[in-house]
A and B are shown apart, each in its own frame.
Chain A
């Protein structure tokens, strides 16, 4: 089965840039989606199809995807960005479609 690997934690100072990676075999051939989840809340889509932003998501959130790594970049990090972030793809390599989530990355704003 397809596996997505994320670092457990990333720390960044306010105003700096945070980069959260999501590794997977040839992930560049798939559409990657990213979700932000704050404590006690449901996940929120922040980037879809590698690099598109839903309406209402700040331009500070961006994404890229190539080779075996997709990256969520958060520029000018704010305290309110502290949350868990998950990457997600649909895997159709085996029978049927399967949804795969990464293990999540806790972003800490120092």
Chain B
């Protein structure tokens, strides 16, 4: 049974750094056909992809947020961590982690429940 679960602070102050952890089970982060992305969704708005990490540790970032994001993984702990620096109220959103699996393309077949992060002083 595949599960992903996000954890981290629910409230951060402007200019602070956000650290979110995605703990996965039911698959290995070393599986070559799998990877994990972070995706966010501001209240009432669309999904926005943030970052992805592949099994070989290759990383990819949203062009617009690249300077603020770092994604990493600890395969032994089955965790993927996202840090986002210099948080602003516009970063208030539900943050999801999702598993990408390769068939003919990479699709997100399992998602975490999401965690709402509010940025406010």
Contacts and interface: CB of A to CB of B under 8 A. Distances in A.
B2 interface: no
B47 A86 contact: yes
Interface residues of B, number: 24
B95 to A, nearest CB: 11
Interface of B: 37, 39, 46-49, 52, 60-63, 96, 98, 103-109, 111-114
Contact of A31 (B46, B49, B105): B105
A28 interface: no
A45 B113 contact: no
Contact of B49 (A35, A44, A99): A99
Given A42-B113, A44-B111, A101-B47, 20 more contacts: A31-B105, A31-B106, A33-B105, A33-B107, A35-B108, A37-B47, A43-B96, A43-B111, A45-B107, A48-B103, A48-B107, A48-B109, A49-B107, A86-B46, A88-B107, A98-B60, A98-B62, A99-B37, A100-B49, A101-B46
22 contacts: A33-B107, A42-B112, A42-B114, A43-B98, A44-B111, A45-B108, A48-B103, A48-B105, A48-B109, A49-B103, A49-B104, A49-B107, A54-B109, A88-B107, A94-B63, A98-B49, A99-B39, A101-B39, A101-B46, A101-B47, A101-B49, A104-B46
Q: Is the interface of B mostly helix, strand, loop or mixed?
A: strand
Contacts of A88: 47, 107-108
Interface of A: 1, 30-31, 33, 35, 37, 42-45, 48-49, 52, 54, 86, 88-90, 94, 96-104
B33 to A, nearest CB: 13
B46 A103 contact: yes
Contacts of B109: 45, 48, 54
A104 B47 contact: yes
